[in-house]
Structure formats: C-alpha cells, structure tokens
Chain A
Amino acid sequence: MKTNKVLDNLIIFIVFFFLFLPICVLILFSFNTSSLNITFEGFTLYWYQHLLENTALLEALKNTLLIAVISTVVSTIVGTISAYALKKYDFPFKNVINELLYIPVVIPEIVLGISLLCIYTFMHLELGMFTLILAHISFSIPFVIISVRSVLDSLDPNIEKAASDLGASKLKTFFYIVIPLLLPGILSGAQLAFTLSLDDVVISYFTAGPGSNTLPLYVYSVIKTGVTPDVNALITIMLLVIFIVLTIATIISLRKFKKEVRG
C-alpha cells in the first residue's frame, strides 16, 4: 500500500514533541544554577545534592512510594480474588455488584474523592496515611478486576475440571493452576494500579491529612510560591528509573514477539 512516509514521520514527531516537551523542560531545569526555573543560567548538579537535605520532599516521596506499593499489592490480591469469584460463583445481587464496579472507572475522580472524604468523616476516621491507602485501593480494584477478567474469559474451564478430576482440592487448583494461568492479567492489572496510584492528584487531595503529604500534594502546596529545582532533580531520577524498567519490559516483550513469529 502506498503511504506517505514523510507525512507519517512528521505527525509522529510533532505528537512526541508535544508529549515530551514539559518533561524535557523539567529535566533541563534540574541542572540549572538559578533556583527560579525561568532562564537557564548554567550547569550544576547542586540540586541533586540539595534534594537529600529537603526532608519535606523526601518524606513526600517516601509516602508516595509506600502508598503505591501497599495499594498495588492489596488491590491486586483483592481484585484477582474478586474477578475469580464473579466468574465462578453465583450469589445474590451479583449483577448489581458487577455494575457498581464500573463506577470508579467512569465517574469523575472528584466525586469519588469527596464521597470517600464524607464517609471517612461520618465514620470518624482520622485523615492520614490509612485513609489515603484505602482510597487508592478503592479506585484501583476495578481496573485489576477488568484486567484479570479479560484473561479469565479466555481460559478453558476444562483445565480446572481436569485438575479436580485428578484429585486436586479447589484451593490447590486455584493456587497451582488458575493463578499461573492468570498471571499476565494479574501483572498488567498490578502495573495499572501502581501507575494510577503514582499519577493520582484529585482523590489524594481529599483523603490526605496532616502527616500524609505525597509528592503531588507537596508540589501543589508550593506551586504558587515557586517550585525549587530539587523537585525537578527528583523527577529526573524517577523518570530514569521508569525508563530503565520500561526498556527492559519492552525488550522482553519484543523477544517474545520474535519467538512467536519464528515459532
């Protein structure tokens, strides 16, 4: 088929330029001698060292990562069990529950944020790390369920029957047969939960309390007065880590793709 290669490349270039522009600016200014983030005055690594002394920022980073890890682990476990339960068992109001699960996916996050804030207040829960983690778990679970379900739907039900015919208990079948088969769905669900947790601003804004500052909330509190380049330095380091992890993941998936093509 005849396609216009030059035009294609131009479009791809422009979109990537747009997507990476603000990120590149943040990275560039992490090496700036001026603290104002306005003009680039000279190269320095000072902010990377200064970062280690900014305890408020490091505390926010620690909280952000802690929340992301805990909420990913919990929502992945609960989501996987739930997806399996919704597929294999019948129980009252199952259809209603199935519909309710889509709410966190489609509703504007702010509604979820304020409704959690209200219910926390109603139950006299003090806002802090616990309420934040609970909020992150609650918006991640549906994404894990959907991700696991898409693999579960393509699974041959006879495999489980065969396992039980051969004398494996239900629990054994679940752990040794079902979980390994669902692993691609579970992993992509976990990855999504982790990403959503790191990206969230809106729900954290309503469910955080004193002593549970996260990275976006820290930036939000200083954005009016001016963000110092040590924030840029931290983002640069985080991006580097993400880039390395993603590159490895892509290389692995490309290898698999090659094998599939050959095989």
Chain B
Amino acid sequence: MTSKLLRYIFILPVIIYTVFLIALPLIYIFVISFFQSDFYGGMIETFTLENYARIFDSVYIGIFIKSLVIAGITTIICILISYPFVLAVSHKNKRFQTILMMLVMIPFLTNSLIRMYGWTVLLRESGIINQILMSLNIISEPLSLMYNNLGIIIGMVYTLIPFMILPLYSSVSTIDKSLLEAASDLGASKWQKFKNIILPQTFPGLFNGALMVFTPALGYFFIVDVLGGGKIMILGNLIKNQFLTARNWPFGAAIAVSLVLITILVIVIYRKLGGKMDKLGDM
C-alpha cells in the first residue's frame, strides 16, 4: 500500500466525523434559529431575529436565571463535598485509595435516570426518608423533599459529583506530601496549609470539575422532570419542549445557541485561568 493512500485512510475518518457529526449539525441549529416557525410545526426559511428577541421575554429570562442559579448552587455543593472527601481519601495508603476510588465509580455505572428513580423512592412524601423520620417521631407531617428545588439540587449534585471528585482527586494526589510536612513542622495551621498549599495546587482540578459540573447542569431536563415534578423548568426542559411538544424548532434552536454561548463563555474563563482542554475528557 502506498503511503499516500495510507495517509488518506488515517485522516479521512476524523474529518468525516467532525464535519458531518459535529460541525454540520451545529451549523444547522444556528441557521434554523433565524428561521420563522409556522403553526404546524414547520419552518419558513426567511431571516428573522424574532426568536432571539423572544428570549428576552420575562418568562424566559426567568428560566435562564433559574438554570444558572441551580447550576451554580450544584457546583458549589459539589465542591464543598468533594474537597473534604478527596483530602480524607488522600490520607489513606495507596492501595486503599485505589479501592475507594473504584467504589466511587460503582453507582455511576448504572444509568443516571435509574438512579434518579431510586431517589424518588427515598424522597417522596410516602418515601423511605419520611417514613423513617415519622416512625421515630422526629416529624409529624411528611417533609417535601422532592417536586421542588431541593429535589432538583439533590439529583443534580448526585449525578454530577463524580465529575468533581475525579479531577480533584487526581490533582490532590500530585501534591508533594513533604511540602505539607514541612508546613506542619514550621507550625502552619490546617487552614493555612489548605489555603497556601492545597488550594493553589488543586486549582486546575477544581476548575476542570467546576466546568464539567456547571454546564451539564444547565441541560439535564430529566432530573428536573423526575425530581422537580413538572412545574419547574430549566433551559434543558425549555429546549426539549420547543423541539418535541410545542414543535417550535427555530425558537428551541435559538435557546440552544444561547446555551452554547454560555458554554463558550465558561470555557474562555477556564482557558484564561490556565485550564487545559485535554484534561476535560480525561477521566
């Protein structure tokens, strides 16, 4: 086989893939976001900015803000849980660490929707948590743990936390232990060690995790559907409804393009802070 032919065989798959399965679909979405919709779920191919203007309607602005707040709170809670956990794991011996990190992954090998269904069994009014609390006489009325913002946040944190734990763990494990020992010897407090050694050294992992938690949280409509009870909407639900229920593809596409713009903004910040793109998909 000539090396020229071989070259084409190697290069072609990645070109075909990026052009037809990444670039064209996204360009297509961008194009139809400027189309007009007719009343029958079809599209009229005339240029309009109406879909983007509609986003500034207070109803939709509200959904944008709500989505960003939920994603933000989810990210913060994931950070607050992951840091102490990862540090506690890093104090164990190497063998035990390997086993613990394997155990972290096990729940995530079942489908995420099925795990959400597990949470409904726990959280609903007649669910296990309420049953236990009531039988212990801690509460007399069942608590509303789902079909509200609390349920959504629990679901989001649960689904996305491995994306925070994994990068944080790998950056914590690169910290030179002797640095921490030296700091202790010199009389540094726990907080000083965390602030001056651990935090700066784990920034890359922290940003990586924050990005991998924040942006998916804007789109996970099924968590909101299952644990939010159908009244609450985030951007993911809005896009889903426009494409499958209301059948207004141009407006749905305009919201999707806005979601892409938010993602790009987050990535620009990530890169400005020195984040590497390859680290994001390296799990």
A-to-B contact residues, CB < 8 Å: 1-3, 5, 7-9, 11-12, 15-16, 18-23, 25-26, 29, 37-39, 78, 81-82, 84-86, 88-89, 91, 97, 100-112, 114-119, 122, 134, 137-138, 141-143, 145-147, 149-150, 169-171, 192, 195, 198-202, 205-206, 215-216, 219-220, 223, 227, 231, 235, 238-239, 242-243, 246, 249-250, 253-254, 257
Contacts and interface: CB of A to CB of B under 8 A. Distances in A.
A8 B88 contact: yes
A89 B10 contact: yes
12 contacts: A7-B88, A23-B110, A78-B13, A85-B10, A102-B280, A106-B215, A110-B239, A111-B256, A119-B24, A198-B110, A216-B111, A242-B110
Given A138-B22, A146-B282, A115 B88 contact: no
Contacts of A119: 24-25, 28
B121 A250 contact: no
Contacts of B6: 170-171
A149 B278 contact: yes
Contacts of A253: 98
Interface of B: 1, 3, 6-7, 9-11, 13-15, 17-18, 21-26, 28-29, 32, 81, 84-85, 88-89, 91-92, 94-95, 98-100, 102-115, 117-122, 126-128, 131, 158, 161, 177, 180-181, 184, 211, 215-216, 218-222, 226, 235-236, 239-240, 243-244, 249, 252-253, 256, 259-260, 263, 267, 277-278, 280-283
A243 B253 CA distance: 41
B113 A220 contact: yes
Contact of A115 (B107, B117, B220, B256): B256
B103 A81 contact: no
B172 to A, nearest CB: 13
Closest 6 CB pairs of A and B: A22-B118, A108-B219, A115-B25, A82-B14, A110-B219, A8-B88
B67 to A, nearest CB: 10
Contacts of A100: 18, 22-23
Nearest to A134: B21
Given A91-B15, A106-B263, A257-B98, 15 more contacts: A8-B91, A21-B122, A29-B121, A89-B10, A101-B14, A110-B259, A170-B6, A199-B109, A202-B219, A202-B222, A216-B112, A219-B114, A235-B110, A235-B114, A243-B106
Contacts, number: 250
Contacts of A220: 113, 222
Contact of B104 (A19, A23, A138, A195): A19
B88 A12 contact: yes
Nearest to B238: A110
B11 A91 contact: yes
A62 to B, nearest CB: 15
A252 to B, nearest CB: 11
A212 to B, nearest CB: 16
Nearest to B127: A38
A231 B236 CA distance: 26
B215 A107 contact: yes
Nearest to A82: B14
Contact of B131 (A39, A111, A137, A246): A39
Contact of A116 (B14, B25, B283): B25
Nearest to B23: A100
Contact of A108 (B95, B259, B280): B259
A118 B27 CA distance: 11
